[in-house]
């Protein structure tokens, strides 16, 4: 194997399933190195995907299911696997904020180490129209194949920004006029009492551990989701959805 091929292999990864592959074709087709489709699939869904792939100039390979199983590992691939360039595009918060035509709505994730939770948060962020998801480089799972699969295409529609210092990034957001609200069970205000109609960043930590102290202290204010049952906390993706859609509700009510 040549050094160039080794570099390509080292910087590539697989994404699995129709949602993830179709989203990549729509939003970042140049990152697709090749698409493997089960040789026996000729249904309408497969034909539609192949048409999109051909229009994008992607390389299509008819592949036996056993090989697809090997590429996908333990994940369900639905008969389609794409090999893509794993290098993330460098995104800058300032560029995203400058291009907005409405008040910013951001999701900041502190210490999320489960890829299933990250993927679910990206799906929620996409549904709520979040402009970017921000996460630290350290003590976080990163956008791996499992997170991309769980995100069902949202990993390619929602900008995902990795930062080296989360507290510093929060201060930069505050300087840019974004109100940073930390979700914390011990807060005195509920999410329904906090004004979210202006530029807003919701900051959430992992279930159980919650926000780190410095992250918590850097937020403009803290708010809680009122809990009416016996459980004390919610999964971070569920909590994200509740907070983000409350922001959308307030903006629609305005």
Q: How far is CA 133 from the centre of its chain?
A: 6
> What is the pLDDT, as a whole number, of residue 3?
34
CA 5-151-37 angle, to 5 degrees, is: 50
Residues 6+ apart with CB under 8 A from 94: 176
Q: For 212-242, how does the pLDDT look when each residue is reduced to its tens digit (9 = 90+)?
A: 999 999 999 999 999 999 888 899 999 999 9
Long-range Cβ pairs for the range 52-56 (8 Å, 24+): 52/22, 52/25, 52/26, 53/25, 56/25, 56/29, 56/32
Give residue 243's pLDDT band: very low, low, confident or very high (50, 70, 90): very high
> What is the pLDDT, as a whole number, of residue 42?
85
Ranges assigned E (strand) in the chain: 12-16, 32-38, 60-63, 80-85, 105-110, 132-136, 160-163, 179-183, 200-205, 221-223
> What is the pLDDT, as a whole number, of residue 228?
92
Residue with tokens 């202290």: 217
**What is the average per-residue pLDDT within 48-75?**
90
Cβ–Cβ under 8 Å, residues 46 and 80: yes
Question: Please, what are the domains in the chain?
Answer: 3-85 (3.30.1330.30), 93-253 (3.40.1280.10)
**What is the average per-residue pLDDT within 150-159?**
85
Pairwise CA distance, residues 10 & 156, whole Å: 20
What is the token pair recorded at 248?
A: 């959308």
Q: Is the pLDDT of residue 158 over 50?
A: yes
Q: Is the pLDDT of residue 93 over 90?
A: no
Annotated binding site: 205, 225, 234
Computed over every residue of the chain, the mean pLDDT equals 89
In the DSSP assignment, the letter for residue 190 is: B
Output the pTM of the full model: 0.76
Cβ–Cβ under 8 Å, residues 183 and 194: no
Residue with tokens 């930390």: 182
Using the CB atoms, write b or e for 184-210: b if 16+ within 10 Å.
Answer: beebeeebeebebeebbbbbbbbbeeb
Q: Is the pLDDT of residue 10 over 60?
A: no
Q: Is the pLDDT of residue 156 over 90?
A: no
> What is the pLDDT, as a whole number, of residue 6?
35
Pairwise CA distance, residues 156 & 25, whole Å: 9
Cβ–Cβ under 8 Å, residues 239 and 209: no
Q: What is the CB neighbour count within 10 angstroms for residue 78?
A: 19
Annotated binding site for S-adenosyl-L-methionine: 205, 225, 234
């Amino acid at each position: 194997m040549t050094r160039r091929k080794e570099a390509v292999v080292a910087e590539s990864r697989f994404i699995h399933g129709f949602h993830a592959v179709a989203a990549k074709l729509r939003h970042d087709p140049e990152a697709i190195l090749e698409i493997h489709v089960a040789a026996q699939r000729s249904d309408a869904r497969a034909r539609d995907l192949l048409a999109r792939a051909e229009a994008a100039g992607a390389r299509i390979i008819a592949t036996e299911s056993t090989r697809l199983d090997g590429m996908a590992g333990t994940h369900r691939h639905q008969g389609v696997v794409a090999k893509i360039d794993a290098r993330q595009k460098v995104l800058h918060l300032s560029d995203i904020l400058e291009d907005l035509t409405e008040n910013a709505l951001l999701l900041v994730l502190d210490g999320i180490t489960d890829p299933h939770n990250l993927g679910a948060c990206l799906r929620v962020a996409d549904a709520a129209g979040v402009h970017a998801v921000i996460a630290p480089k350290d003590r976080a799972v990163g956008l791996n194949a499992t997170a991309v699969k769980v995100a069902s295409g949202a990993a390619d529609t929602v900008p995902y920004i990795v930062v080296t210092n989360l507290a510093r990034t929060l201060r930069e957001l505050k300087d840019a006029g974004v109100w940073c609200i930390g979700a914390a069970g011990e807060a005195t205000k509920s999410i329904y009492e906090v004004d979210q109609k202006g530029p807003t960043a919701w900051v959430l930590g992992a279930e159980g551990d919650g926000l780190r102290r410095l992250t918590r202290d850097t937020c403009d204010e803290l708010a809680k989701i009122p809990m009416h049952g016996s459980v004390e906390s919610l999964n971070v993706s569920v909590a994200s959805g509740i907070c983000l859609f409350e922001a959308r509700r307030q903006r629609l009510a305005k």
